[in-house]
Amino acid sequence: MRTLVYRAFGFNMASEIPLPEVLLISHEHVQPDVRIMLGDLQDIWNEYGKQGEYYAYLDEQFLLYVPEIAIFSVRGGEEITVSPLNGAKEHQIRLYLLGTCMGAILMQKRILPLHGSAVVIDGKGYAFIGESGAGKSTLACGLIQRGYSLLSDDVIAISWGGPDRQIPIVIPSYPQQKLWQESFDYLGMSPADCENLYETKYALPVPQVFQSDRIPLGGIFELNKSDQSGIQIKACSGLQCLPILHMHTYRNFLLPLLAKNNGTSRKYPS
């Protein structure tokens, strides 16, 4: 089976599954940081998964079961195995592969994944985090329309850099945004040429305005819905930031599983 090498989240990823959203870097043999493979995970899920539950964790291996799409295995921060289910569409598989599975890979590599969007402003990366529907991707897209560059959408990888590894940095993901129909309407755009991911959410490619280099983190903004008119900005510092970062860590339900490594299973949130 042909394997191609892609670049995303700071990793060289050798994948047996085509990833058209991600930057293709080579058709040749390149030492990968992450391997994405096809395999049969039905037996291991039957053994460790439970009826009505959607994920399990054992021996540094995270298992994810998505009905009618695929079973996924993420192991040791280095391997993702995908077992497609009958009738699954490729873009549905990639949605979880580049979302939940990459979030697990980042955690296993001790890289913080935040749920939000990040853009480049004056040479620094600014992240917008918040609950679903808060306007993270819409705000980022609006800034892109004004000439700024995209670093990441949906999963923001935050690591440390500099001589003493004391500088927080943003690691670029891949050149695509995910927007609801109402965001297209609000921004005066059309999803006509975009791939429909599910319901009225679409994948918007943005290769021309994608920042592919790591850059220092300039700041993080939490977006909150409000019935009040106008915009209010409230500064947050010190220990106040910790619960906010935990709340908006991408798939934060994985954190206790990674810490305990006790082979337990939980219900997967929608």
Average pLDDT, the chain: 89
Mean pLDDT of 210-228: 91
Look at residue 239 and tell me whether its pLDDT is greater than 90: no
The 10s digit of each residue's pLDDT in 86-145 is 999 999 999 999 999 999 999 999 999 999 999 999 999 999 999 888 899 999 999 999
Specify the pLDDT at position 209. 95
Dist CA 79 CA 97 (whole Å): 12
Q: What is the pLDDT of residue 27?
A: 61
Q: Say what the pLDDT of residue 259 is.
A: 65
Report d(CA 143, CA 119) in Å as an integer.
8
Specify which residues 83 forms β-bridges with: 71
Quick: pLDDT tens for 131-143: 888 899 999 999 9
Give me the percent of the chain exceeding a pLDDT of 70: 94
Q: What beta strand segments (E) does the chain contain? A: 4-8, 11-15, 23-26, 34-38, 55-58, 61-66, 70-75, 79-84, 112-121, 124-130, 149-161, 167-171, 176-180, 195-198, 201-205, 215-223, 265-266
Query: Quick one: tokens of 200?
Result: 């009225």
